[in-house]
Structure formats: C-alpha cells, structure tokens
C-alpha cells in the first residue's frame, strides 16, 4: 500500500487561495492515515485478476477513501456525534472550526467523483464505477444510514432495523469497494458475490466497532470512544455478550465464504481480512 499512499500525497485536493487554513484542513484527515480498509479491498480484487491494472485502479481506491473520509469528518461534527478525536488527531471542527469541517466534508465528497472521472479506463467503466460509488455512498446508501442513525437516537430499534441501518451506514461502502474491484477487472459474474460478501463484512466491521467503543480508550482506538450510549449500536441494544455472539457468527460465515473464492482471490483477501475478522476478540 506504500505506492497508494504516495498516490494520495501527490493527488491531494489543491485549493490555492488567500484563505488562512482551508487547504491545510482539506489535507489533514487524508494525511492522518487510517486503516485504508476499503481501498485495500478494491486493490486486492484487482491484484487477483488484473495485476497490470493496479496503477490505474489507484484513482478508484482513492475516490472511495475520499468519500469515506468526508463521511468521518461530517460524522464527528457537533450536530452528529460531537467527537473530538479521529485517526489520532483532533477532529476538524476542534482544530479549525465547524464551518471549515462542514465545507471540507463537502469538498472531499465532490472531489471523490472528480478523481474517479479521471480514472484511466474507458468511459463505460468509469460510468459504472461512478454509479456504484454514488449509489452506495449517497441517498440510498451511507447517507440514508446516517439519517436513520441520527433520527432514532434515544429511540431503540428492533434488531432487524438496526441491521438495515448499519447495512446502509457502513456495509454498503465496504461492499462497494469489492464491487468496484470486480468492475475494473471485468469480472461481471463476481460482482454480486463480492458485494454480498462485503455486506456481511461491513456488518461485522460495525459490530466490532460497537464492541471496541466500550472496550477501548480513545487513545487506543485513535478516535472518540464511549460515545454510543444513545445510539442504536449492537452493544447498546443486544448487550455485550450477544453482540460478541453476533460477531462470532458473522466471522464464521465470512471464513466459509472466503474459502469458496478461487485461490487467487483468497490469497489477496486473506492477509487483509486476517487483521479484522477476529478484531472483536483482541
């Protein structure tokens, strides 16, 4: 992933102006690192089937990281989660101001599609990639999940509703990363299988985050924790033990599904997933 980090550094959004800190604020969270989980999934699929396209796929991997980063900036705002730590750094509304954080989120959102529009693929492939990212990250995906999450704060939901909330808020963007990898490779027959796998992976990721929210300090997690008491998290609704059981069940399902992929895809995905599939037990 070192070459991908270099790509990010050389493709930071440029906004030279007389504003005292806008351009710096645009770069802070992108340069703060993070797991780069979604880009890693996309690039793993490409490496498995079309390794010569890895360099070209960086645009798509960066686009999904830009969209994800915008969502974190907005998620941390006082009007939403009111968090003061993200990726080990002060959140933007703390280190700068709330208006700057809102506008940086807006800018990263739209910049994601500018970068994706410049991906060195055919127009047909670019449109498919843009559609996938917009559909899963927008009105009927991540934003819908955020809207449900915020509206029903302090209003307990049923477990199936909570799963639908987090399928939209978290899982769809993870599933989209795998789907975009298949689109780049021209693996039409794999798109749905990878997408469905990504939905389960995203749900596991969310349950694990909910567990870590109550078991880790903010310093350990690199972001504000102990902050989900009013939310419809899996731990809040199910309790810690049942949330652990849900995570165990999903991790077992994902191992079985991973074993059903061909050897090329297994060999690329396994090193990434091994870091996360049992994260809730660490």
Q: What end-to-end distance do the CA atoms of the chain give, in Å?
A: 24
What are the sequence ranges of the domains in the chain?
2-11+18-281
pLDDT of residue 279: 86
pLDDT of residue 250: 96
The per-residue pLDDT for 54 is: 98
Whether residue 176 is predicted with pLDDT greater than 70 in this model: the reply is: yes
Question: What pLDDT, on the 0 to 100 scale, is given for residue 230?
Answer: 75
- pLDDT at residue 228, rounded to an integer: 66
List, for residues 101-154, the tens digit of each pLDDT value.
999 999 999 999 999 999 999 999 999 999 999 999 999 999 999 999 999 999
Report pTM. Answer: 0.95
100 CB-near residues (< 8 Å, 6+ apart): 21, 22, 25, 92, 93
CATH class, domain 2-11+18-281, is mainly alpha
Average pLDDT along the chain? 95
| Cα separation, 198 vs 176, whole angstroms | 7
Structure tokens at 42: 């996309």
What confidence score (pLDDT) does residue 29 get? Answer: 96
pLDDT at residue 97 in the model: 97
Percent of the chain predicted with pLDDT > 70: 99
Distances (CA, A) of 31 to 6, 65, 248, 269: 10, 11, 33, 25
**Nearest CA among 169, 243, 257, 251 for reference residue 211:** 243
> pLDDT tens, 190-249?
999 999 999 999 999 999 999 998 888 887 777 877 766 678 999 999 999 999 999 999
Q: Which residue has the higher pLDDT, 213 or 169?
A: 169
């Amino acid at each position: 992933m070192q070459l991908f980090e270099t790509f990010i550094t050389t493709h930071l959004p440029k906004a030279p102006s007389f504003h005292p800190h806008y351009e710096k604020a645009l770069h802070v969270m992108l340069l703060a690192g993070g797991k780069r989980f979604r880009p890693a999934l996309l690039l793993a699929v490409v490496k498995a089937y079309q390794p010569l396209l890895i360099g070209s796929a960086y645009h798509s991997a960066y686009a999904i990281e830009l969209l994800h980063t915008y969502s974190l900036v907005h998620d941390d705002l006082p009007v939403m989660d009111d968090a003061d730590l993200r990726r080990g750094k002060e959140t933007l509304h703390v280190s700068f101001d709330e208006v700057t954080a809102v506008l940086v989120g807006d800018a990263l959102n739209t910049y994601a599609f500018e970068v994706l529009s410049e991906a060195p693929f055919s127009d047909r492939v670019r449109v498919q990639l843009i559609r996938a990212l917009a559909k899963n990250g927008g009105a009927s995906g991540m934003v819908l999940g955020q809207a449900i999450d915020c509206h029903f704060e302090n209003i307990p939901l049923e477990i199936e509703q909570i799963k639908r909330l987090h399928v939209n808020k978290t899982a769809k963007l993870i599933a989209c990363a795998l789907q975009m990898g298949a689109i780049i490779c021209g693996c039409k027959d794999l798109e749905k299988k990878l997408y469905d796998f990504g939905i389960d992976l995203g749900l596991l990721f969310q349950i694990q985050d909910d567990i870590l929210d109550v078991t880790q300090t903010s310093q350990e997690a690199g972001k504000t924790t102990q902050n989900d008491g009013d939310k419809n998290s899996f731990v809040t609704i199910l309790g810690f033990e049942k949330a652990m059981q849900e995570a165990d069940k999903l991790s077992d399902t994902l191992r079985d599904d991973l074993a059903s992929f061909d050897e090329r895809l297994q060999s690329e995905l396994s090193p990434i997933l091994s870091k996360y599939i049992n994260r809730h037990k660490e």
